[in-house]
Every structure is written in C-alpha cells, then in structure tokens.
Amino acid sequence: MLKDVTLGQFLPGVSPIHRLDPRAKILFLIALIVFIFITSNYISLALVAAFIVALVFMTRIPVKMYLKSMKMILFIVLFTGIINLFYGRGEPLVKIGFLQITEAGINNAVFVAVRIAVLILASSMLTFTTSPTDLTDALERLLKPLTVFHIKVHEIAMMMTIALRFVPTLLEETDKIMSAQKARGADMESGNLIKRIKALIPVLIPLFVSAFRRAEELATAMECRCYQGGSGRTRMKRLHFGKADLYGLAACLLVLCGVIICNIFLPATVR
C-alpha cells in the first residue's frame, strides 16, 4: 500500500540528464523555477514548459512515471486553478451568483495550473535522475559556505542521508506491524476518521520503539566505523562540472533570454 509513492523516487539510468553533476542539477532546477514564475505571457510560459518537456524526454524515463507523480498533486493543481478562476478583475464573462469569471481570471487559472504542473515535472525530473545520496551530497557541498554562520551543514546532510536510507526499512516495518496487529484482530479499515486514527496507535508505538532501537544500534555501528563528524572526512566521489553541465548552463541562459525578450516585447497577460 505504501509502495506506490513515486514522488522522490530515484530511477537509475544513463541518460545525459542522469549524468549531469548533481550540484548543477539542483542549480538548474532553481533556475527553472525562477523562469516559470517570471513568465508573464503565454509565449514565454510555453517556451519554459516546452524546454522542461524536452528535458523530460531526454531523461528516457517512461512518461508514465511522471504522470504518476503528477496524479498525486492533481487535486492541488485543480483546486488552485479553480480558485484563481474567480479571482480575476474586469468585465465578467459568466456570472454565477456572487462568483464571476473574467478573462483575467481564466488567464490566472491557466497560469497557476501550468506553473504548478511544470514545477512538479521539473522537481520529479531531479529526483528521478539523481540518487538520494548524490542529492544530499550535492546539497552539502552547495551549502558548505553556510558553515561560516555556524550552520551544521554536514550534520544536516548526514541526517538526510540516514532518513532517506531508512524510509524503505521503516515502511516495511510498518507493514509488518500492521499485519501483526491485524492478525490479533485489530480493525484498521472501518469506522470514522477518529476511530481509524485511534486504531493506528498500536501501530505507531511499536514503530517508534523499534525506530529508537535502530537509531541506537546505527549509532554504535557508525562509531565502530570511526565516524567523528564532518571534520577530517573525505568523500569517495569527486564531483566536477563537465562539458554536459556547460551545455546545460548554455541552454538555461538561452531560455532565460527568450523569457526576458518575450516578457519585454509582448503584452503581459498576467501581472
């Protein structure tokens, strides 16, 4: 039941996107998010969306996987889209009671929906093509300058690595405990919301107890392997910006120019 979570899953592959430097990928994602939000008319929005869709195809990951991760947030897309539909100003096209739909409203709705959808597409692309360890590793290296402000970057990255490592283990354990409780006659599927939440308590308590026990053992194991925090530690993987990352950078700059030109020379449809 907990197995079909696609968001944040890593799908190994050998596509050009997979091979980009993870630090570059994080920066490109941030850049793309910025691009999506500075677009002010349909042409530039289409430009960014087309760029991202092209990248999606370059990952050589079945489009089905992307659609699956979109499905999870479909409700949010529709909800914000519909809310925005009624928020436009100007001449009403349709009037239902106190609600009115205007042209600006329709534009807003389309923009918001497309922006969120593209956002999810771009971030799933990052997690699909980058292993969690690469991701945390890249974050650690990108955030390294923050150690100047006494932010414990290494410790945060380590916690993320361990958390990601134990997600499948704890999911499996949850399944086991639920089966064990069901075998003893626990009823988790019927009754109202409050009743069902109460039924989860006998699952959560053993889960927490075992998580703490695991944490203690893991700490012992890490100590046995001479873990002493971030100082004096080296990494096996060397990261370097390569040619592919430069091409990526060039493509991003090109899209940025496109967006800026469109924004300047074409009338803005949303503010």
Partner 1 sequence: MKDFIKVENVSFRYDSNDTVNKYVLNDISLNINKGEFVALLGHNGCGKSTMAKLLNAMLLPEKGKVFVNGLDTSEPDVSYDVRKTVGLVLQNPDNQLVASIVEEDVAFGPENLGIEPDEIRRRVDEALKAVDMYEYRAHAPYKLSGGQKQRVAIAGIIAMQPQCLVLDEPTAMLDPKGRDEVMATIKKLNREKGITIVLITHYMDEAVQADRVVVMDSGKILTQGSPREVFSEVELLKRHRLDVPQATELMYRLVGMGFPAESLPLDEDECIDRLSKILK
Q: Which of 14, 88, 24 is nearest to 239 (CA)?
A: 24
CB of 6 to partner 1, least distance (A): 16
The DSSP element (H or E) to which 95 belongs, if any, is strand 92-96
- Asked if 88 contacts 101 with a C-beta cutoff of 8 angstroms, the reply is yes
Contact between 79 and partner 1 by CB under 8 A: the answer reads no
The DSSP element (H or E) to which 102 belongs, if any, is strand 99-102
Contact between 232 and partner 1 by CB under 8 A: the answer reads yes
Q: Hey, which residues between 7 and 26 contact partner 1 (CB under 8 A)? A: 12
Member of 75, 98, 192, 228 binding partner 1 (CB under 8 A): 228
Looking at the chain, the number of H-run helices and the number of E-run strands are 9, 2
CB of 101 to partner 1, least distance (A): 48
Count CB neighbours of 113 within 10 A.
Answer: 19
Q: Closer to partner 1 at the Cβ: 237 or 243? A: 237
Contact string (CB under 8 A) for partner 1, positions 151-170, x = contact: ----------xx-xx--xx-
Residues 6+ apart with CB under 8 A from 24: 241, 245, 248, 249
Count CB neighbours of 69 within 10 A.
Answer: 20
Residues 6+ apart with CB under 8 A from 101: 85, 86, 88, 92, 93, 94, 95
Contact between 192 and partner 1 by CB under 8 A: the answer reads no
Member of 71, 187, 209, 217 binding partner 1 (CB under 8 A): 217
Contact between 263 and partner 1 by CB under 8 A: the answer reads no
Member of 64, 237, 240, 271 binding partner 1 (CB under 8 A): 237
Contact between 225 and partner 1 by CB under 8 A: the answer reads yes
Identify the three-state secondary structure at position 99: strand
Task: Give me 98's structure tokens.
Answer: 């106190």
DSSP secondary structure letter of residue 60: T
Q: Closer to partner 1 at the Cβ: 150 or 235? A: 235
Which window, 14-22, 120-128, 129-137, 177-185, contacts partner 1 (CB under 8 A)? 129-137
Contact between 240 and partner 1 by CB under 8 A: the answer reads no
Q: Closer to partner 1 at the Cβ: 47 or 158? A: 158
DSSP secondary structure letter of residue 88: -
CB of 246 to partner 1, least distance (A): 23
Task: Give me 78's structure tokens.
Answer: 């529709």
Contact between 271 and partner 1 by CB under 8 A: the answer reads no
Q: Closer to partner 1 at the Cβ: 186 or 211? A: 211
Give contact residues for partner 1 (rule: CB under 8 A): 12, 131-133, 161-162, 164-165, 168-169, 172, 214, 217-218, 220-228, 232-238
